[in-house]
Amino acid sequence: MSRKRPRKLREVESIDKDSLDRGAEKKVEEKEQTGEEYDAFGFIKDKKQVAAVAGAFFIVGFLMSWFVNPSMTAQVIGSGVTTSPESVGEGVVSFMNDYKEYFNIPEEGVSFVSAEEENGLITIVTSIQGTEIPIQSTTDGKNVIFSGVNIENFKKEIAELEAQQTQESQQGGGEIPKSDRPVVDLFIWSYCPYGVLALGPLADVASLFADKAEFNTILYYAGHGDYETQQNKIQACIQKIDKDKYWEYAKGFVEEIYPACSRDVDCDKNESARLMDSLGIDSSAVLSCVDDEGEDLIAQYYQYARSLGVTGSPTFVINGAIIVSSSDRCPDGNIECVVRYIARDSESIKQVVCSAFNTQPEECSTQLDSGGGSDSQAQC
């Protein structure tokens, strides 16, 4: 069973619940108030700080999107027997990868770089997307001072939560509103790995239904920097200028640009222009739109997301109802919220869209690919 990163964890003693509930919305509000940009791990750009001091260590935004009590310790190995720095480091990295969905760790996970003993502690250097992050542990491998999460309690609580969420998702909650021509909005950050996992399959579904349903990608936030802001504007402008070819571009972005251009603004721009030209999209017109209208378009997306209470990438909104994997993720307010588990593959998304038709069209009988996708419910 895959793990699902909840928007809230109820009755979890090892996590500050008030901070957790504010989660992604805090990042959005801080950006709005301060103008700060965030990098791939949730750090404020140009202000990365990793405090590595005996007895107190915390990582801001990368392991969790919340600010919590930094003084709590976490048991990793638990033997109490002195072991090598390398063994301790590998144990920490293994835990982080096992639970990466809960900590906003990218899909490719964390890798172990090195570990050495210094000042009575073991400093473990990890690497995520090329950025090295140090973490500290006691020399016996028993405790890691680790951003307010007691690991053993955390594992138990997650197991209980997963069982609850699985039951809830299977039972469902509410029905997706129906219409003659459903409107499907996918809210993502363009370079969010979890959003990309949903965008590719949705492109297949949008191509299948053509004009029998309306499909939109809402690029509502850029949490990874300038290259993501640029790509958000590019996709917004393609949808404005040449909507018929947008889903071909979206598919190409997932397969070609995303793997090659993450963190590289020039690569993103050049490869986007190349892809647009290959599809017959006027790249000059799109890039002019990016310069002249891009900021306004993504500002409208941002306001639309806020009005619905969207805080995670990806999020589906179908016929005005927000679709969530568990009731803990329902936003506050009057927006209709439907509990429905959606695996991130073309066939699963197609079935959900078909449930939103008053009368299902013949395309609903077409079998799409259900392999190669993801059943993760993690979000940026």
Cα gap 360→337, rounded to integer Å: 22
Neighbours of 118 (CB within 10 A): 11
pLDDT along the chain (380 residues), means of 10: 37 34 41 40 32 30 33 41 77 78 71 88 84 78 57 68 55 78 96 93 95 96 93 98 97 95 94 97 97 97 94 93 84 84 89 95 90 69
102 vs 64: CA distance, rounded Å: 7
Q: Going by C-beta distance under 8 Å and a sequence separation of 6 or more, which residues neighbour residue 99? A: 3, 154, 155, 158
d(C-alpha 28, C-alpha 16), whole Å: 20
Query: For the chain, give me the number of helices (H) and strands (E)?
Result: 11, 12
Q: Of 273, 291, 290, whose CA–CA distance to 282 is shortest?
A: 273
Distance in angstroms (rounded) separating the CA atoms of residues 290 and 323: 30
Kindly report, as residue ranges, where domains of CATH 3.40.30.10 are found in the chain.
Answer: 172-365
Answer CATH for 172-365 from 3.40.50.720, 3.40.30.10, 3.40.630.40, 3.40.50.620:
3.40.30.10
Of the candidates 268, 192, 258, 264, which has an alpha carbon nearest to the alpha carbon of residue 223? 192
**Per-residue CA distances from 278 to 230, 256, 275 (Å):** 20, 13, 5
Residue whose C-alpha is closest to residue 319's, from 214, 243, 221? 214
Q: Two tokens at 37?
A: 């940009």
Q: How many CA within 13 A on the CB side of residue 173?
A: 19
Q: What is the DSSP string of 279-317?
A: TT--HHHHHHHHHHTHHHHHHHHHHHHHHHT--SSSEEE
Q: How do beta strands 143-145 and 73-75 pair? A: antiparallel
Helices 346-354 & 193-209, crossing angle to 10 degrees? 60
By C-alpha distance, which of 276, 316, 133, 294 is closest to 226? 294
Q: Could you count the other beta carbons within 10 Å of the beta carbon of residue 357? A: 20
DSSP track, 69-120: -TT-EEESS---S---HHHHHHHHHHHHHHTGGGGT--TT--EEEEEEEETT
The 8-class DSSP code of residue 128 comes to: E
Chain centroid offset of residue 343 CA: 14
Contact 1, 162 (CB under 8 A): yes
Q: How many residues does the chain have?
A: 380
Q: Report the C-alpha gap between 148 and 67 in whole angstroms.
A: 9
